[in-house]
A and B are shown apart, each in its own frame.
Chain A
Amino acid sequence: MDGDNSTTDTSQLSMTGGEYMASGHYVLQSQDGEYDGEENMNDHDDSGIKENFREQDIYLPIANVARIMKNAVPQTGKIAKDAKECVQECVSEFISFITSEASERCHQEKRKTINGEDILFAMSTLGFDMYVEPLKLYLQKFREAMKGEKGIPGVSSVGDSLGDDLTDDSFSNPMPAGIITADGQQQNVMVYTTSYQQIPNVQQIQFS
C-alpha cells in the first residue's frame, strides 16, 4: 500500500502464533482469520488468506470515491485524507465481499455466470438488504436508458426501405461511357450502372 499506512500493517505488529490476540480492539489479528462477532458467511478462510495476499490491491479512483463521500455528508463537512484512502480500501473489500458470496451461490447452482439476481441475493444475505429495492429501480431505469440509446436492432429486411428509394427508372438508362483518350486530354469518370432489372430486396450498389 502507498503512503503512511505502516500503522495498519498488521504484519509488523502481530506476534507469532497470534498468542496475544486482543478481543478485536487493536491491530492484532491472528493468521487464521478468527473474527470477533463478525457475521462472516464464508465457510472457508478465504478472507484471512486474502489479508496476506495483498498484491492485488486494486482500488477505485480516489477522486470518485471522495466525491461521493463529499456529496453524502453535510455541505460543511470535511473528510480527512486518510479517511478517503481508507474508504477506497473498504470499497474494494465490499465488492470482493459481495462477489465472493454471489460466486459461491453460482457454483452451488452449477452456473458459470454471475447474474443480477446473484448480486441482489448476496447483498440481502450479507446485511445490505436495504440496498436491494433501490437497486432494482436503478437497474430498471438503466435498462430503459440503454434501450433508448441503442434503438431496437433492425431485424426487418433492409431492402424494403431502400426499395422505396431506388426505383426501376434509375437503372433503365445506361449512362454514357466515359471517354479516356490515350493522350489524357479528356478524362471523364462516369458512373457505370448496370441496367438490369432491379431485384427486389437487393440493394443496387453504385461504384463511382
Chain B
Amino acid sequence: MKMSQNTPDKDEDQTSTSQKTISLPISRVRLIMKSSPDVNCINQDALFLTTKATELFVQHLAVSSYNNRAKQETKSLSYSDLANTAEENDTFQFLTDILPKKILAGDYLKSLEQLQEDDADF
C-alpha cells in the first residue's frame, strides 16, 4: 500500500473543475473512507460525491487561506496561513488539531514558565 505523500498520479484528467471528470484518484478516496471505523459498503454515488467534494474543499481551503494570508506582498501561501484560517474560519475548525500553529521551543518553554508563575500566585 502506498503511503508516500509524493506519489505522482498519471491516470486522471487535468481539469479539476471539469463537469464530467474528476482529477483525484477515486480508489484512493475509497481507501481513506474505508479507514473510518464501522464503514461497510460505499455506493458509487457516495464515492463520486466525496471525491468531487474533496476537490471543492481543496479549492475552498486554498483560496480562503490565500486571501487571508499574513504576508500579502509575497503572494505565497504558507503553512501558517492555513493554520490561521483553520482557527478563524468556522468551516475549517475541524482542522485545528492537525494544523497546530508552530511555535519555537524556546518561546514555548517561556510561556510554560509564565503559566507556572501564574499558578503559583494563587
**Are B32 and A114 in contact, CB atoms less than 8 angstroms apart?**
no
**Are B16 and A71 in contact, CB atoms less than 8 angstroms apart?**
yes
Give chain A's interface secondary structure class.
helix
**Are A90 and B79 in contact, CB atoms less than 8 angstroms apart?**
no
A118–B33 alpha-carbon span in the complex (Å): 13
**Are A61 and B8 in contact, CB atoms less than 8 angstroms apart?**
yes
Known: A73-B62, A78-B77, A114-B43. A92 touches B32 (CB 8 A): yes
Give the number of residues in A that approach B within 8 Å (Cβ atoms). 87
Binds B, one of A138-146, A152-160, A189-197: A138-146
Name the A residues within 8 Å of B111 (CB-CB): 22, 26
Contact with B along A39-59 (1 / 0, CB 8 A): 110000011000100001111
Would you call A60 an interface residue if the criterion is a C-beta within 8 Å of the partner chain's C-beta atoms?
A: yes
**Are A24 and B28 in contact, CB atoms less than 8 angstroms apart?**
no
A22–B46 alpha-carbon span in the complex (Å): 38
Known: A13-B108, A61-B28, A80-B78. A93 touches B98 (CB 8 A): yes
**Are B7 and A99 in contact, CB atoms less than 8 angstroms apart?**
no
Interface size grouping (class) on chain B? 35 or more
A100–B45 alpha-carbon span in the complex (Å): 17
Which residue of A13, A24, A63, A73 has the most chain B CB atoms within 10 A of its CB atom?
A73
Name the B residues within 8 Å of A113 (CB-CB): 40-43
Q: State the Cβ distance, B68 to closest chain A Cβ, in Å.
A: 12
Q: Which of B7-64 contact A (CB under 8 A)?
A: 7-9, 12, 14, 16-17, 19-20, 23-25, 28-29, 31-33, 35-43, 45-46, 48-50, 52-59, 61-63
Contact with B along A120-136 (1 / 0, CB 8 A): 10010011100100110
Interface residues of A (CB under 8 A from B): 2-3, 7-8, 10, 13, 20, 22, 24-27, 29, 33, 35-40, 46-47, 51, 56-65, 67-69, 71-74, 76-80, 82-83, 85-100, 102-103, 107, 112-116, 118-120, 123, 126-128, 131, 134-135, 137-139, 141-142, 145
Interface residues of B (CB under 8 A from A): 1, 3-9, 12, 14, 16-17, 19-20, 23-25, 28-29, 31-33, 35-43, 45-46, 48-50, 52-59, 61-63, 65-66, 74-79, 81-82, 87, 90-91, 93-103, 105, 108, 111-112, 115
